[in-house]
Structure 1
Amino acid sequence: MHDKGLSTNIGWQDKDAYGKSLSTRQRQRMQRLRTWNERFRTRDSKDRNLKQALGEIDRMASALGLPDNVRETASVIYRRALSENLLPGRSIEGVATAALYAAARQAGNPRSLDEFTAVSRVDKMELTRTYRYVIRELKLEIQPADPGSYVPRFVSRLDLSEETQRLARDLLDGAKQAGITSGKSPVGLAASAVYAAALLSNEKVTQSQVSAVADISEVTIRNRYKELLNASEGLTA
């Protein structure tokens, strides 16, 4: 129930408008009114909080091209955070962004931290800190991001072929078998695999173009794609 901005604060003094002390019955009645007033104010505050958060989730999901199921999961995560009182000391925007980031990871439709930071109203450090806090407190099960889950989006945005997409996945599988993916950025691995696969399939794409799509440095691509090709050669040798 919203008060349309016409909220009422019931004072703590047990006196009437003329400063006279209230009777016992009147004091009891005022106490009940204070209790109900506080309940409505608290509920109204949570309603406004939730409305703002869901608006942020929708805005960011649209900007990132995330599907409805990810938005719905993010909304559930945010509601849980709100009901379990995880908001004090943290911004609505920060928890909303963390909820959406977690939901995207759970759905196997991840976006990088940099991509989230670009559309969020909080910086990367706050997002990272809040995300870790939320998944820990809510005991969310988040699997490590799979580099392969980024490949289709990068291939699509670069207008590359299905053959390049298949080769990129093969390169990532080979790298995993060779044990060289541990501790490396999934986004960097995916982008480098796409670049290497494009070279193998004779498609024209530059490191700069891949860098822009994946939002990582050309240096990362340059270093990683050679490692991926070497790992692939090692497995077939």
Structure 2
Amino acid sequence: MAPDQTVSSRSTRDASHQSQSPLSCPECSGKLVTANRETRCQECGLIVDENQLDRGPEWIASDEDSSRRRTGAPLTAGRHDRGLSTEIGWSRDGYGNTLPAWKRRQLNRLRREHRRSQWRSKRERNLAYGLGEVRRLVSALGVSESLREQACTLFRQAQNEDLCQGRSLEGIAAASVYAICRCNGLGRTLDEIGQVANCSRAQLECAYSAMNTELNLPTAVPRPQNVLPRLVTDLGVPNDIQHRALKLAALAEDIGITTGNQPHGFAAACLYRAGQELGCLITQQELAAVANTSTKTIRKHRDALLDLLDEQEGGQ
């Protein structure tokens, strides 16, 4: 074989090897898995690539510069561009010095043009508006940052599935926050979210129904145990009453009397009964106001708890 043909066949083999290695193992054509900065084969264990470069931000401060400002802000799902947009300052520079009048006028013009060119399409502008509404709702409800990121990701998923067409963006944003609260077992009701949302209750319910159906959300069944911590915090009752109320709620759930009942009303009844047993007077009006229910509902669930406790004492 001629030398040029040998070189040509070798380069062809190397090119095919390079094109095959990112997809499958070059030895056994097995599946490749990347973990701990190395790529290995699941079948034969061959290490195809190792010591990969970590192109993320360096959070360790150097000897020359003790600050970490050079790394920039981390990526976030709460903004339409993942947080990579440019923010133009107002009246002070990076050192805190006041800018002259001509520089402020120039920044105003730059800020106006930057705002006009910030979104490349109407879809991206709607995404930015919806994510801003999600952040506002999360801040008003006092939800954690991790749930905020989940709600923003869910809003992105809803827009990718074209669920925003024909529906209110405010309703989709409020439904995203409510769905994340439901999926994580937080005791947030539609009434609480509807009070801070810029949409009607009907728009919120319609958006949540569409998202729950189309996106197959892993929503958990509402439980009184998930509502009790918030009621205890709002009322400021001792921890022993909370523990007793949790036991009563778990006992009622095991028997099955919580099925078909609103979790807030039953949680208020458990807390009311626990306060009576431990000598802490909690009025039904206070519980009804905090749990957003009626005193009649609390008395109804209280009677069911009393019947359950009487049956247990009679069985023993």
Q: Which bracket does the TM-score occupy, shorter chain normalised? A: 0.7 to 0.9
Residue of 162, 179, 186 corresponding to 2:263? 186
2:308 aligns with 231
Does 1:115 find its partner at 2:192?
yes
Structure 2's unaligned 5+ residue stretches are 1-84, 86-111
Report if aligned partners of 2:269, 2:298 keep a CA contact under 8 Å in 1.
yes
Report if aligned partners of 1:174, 1:232 keep a CA contact under 8 Å in 2.
no
AA matched with 2:238: S
2:130 aligns with 53
Report if aligned partners of 1:115, 1:215 keep a CA contact under 8 Å in 2.
no
Percentage of pairs with the same residue: 35
Measure the CA separation in 2 of the matches of 1:219 and 1:185.
13
Larger gyration radius, structure 1 or structure 2: 2
Structure 1's unaligned 5+ residue stretches are 8-39
1:210 aligns with 287
Q: CA RMSD in A?
A: 2.1
1:36 aligns with none
SS of aligned partner of 1:150: helix
Runs of 4 or more above 6 Å deviation: none
1:139 aligns with 216
1:97 aligns with 174
Measure the CA separation in 1 of the matches of 2:187 and 2:123.
29
CA 1:179–1:5 in structure 2 vs 1: closer, same or farther (change >3 Å)? Answer: closer
1:73 aligns with 150
**Count of residue pairs the alignment pairs up:** 204
Distance apart, 1:159 and its partner CA: 0.6
1:158 aligns with 235
Name whichever structure is richer in helix by fraction: 1
1:7-57 CA-partner distances (Å, limit 9, x unpaired):
8xxxxxxxxxxxxxxxxxxxxxxxxxxxxxxxx98x421222122212221
1:122-151 CA-partner distances (Å, limit 9, x unpaired):
222221221111011111111111210110
Measure the CA separation in 1 of the matches of 2:255 and 2:243.
18
Normalising by structure 2, we get a TM-score of 0.60
Report if aligned partners of 2:187, 2:230 keep a CA contact under 8 Å in 1.
no
Q: Which has the higher contact order (CA 8 A, sep 6+)?
A: 1
1:130 aligns with 207
Distance apart, 1:233 and its partner CA: 2.8
Normalising by structure 1, we get a TM-score of 0.79
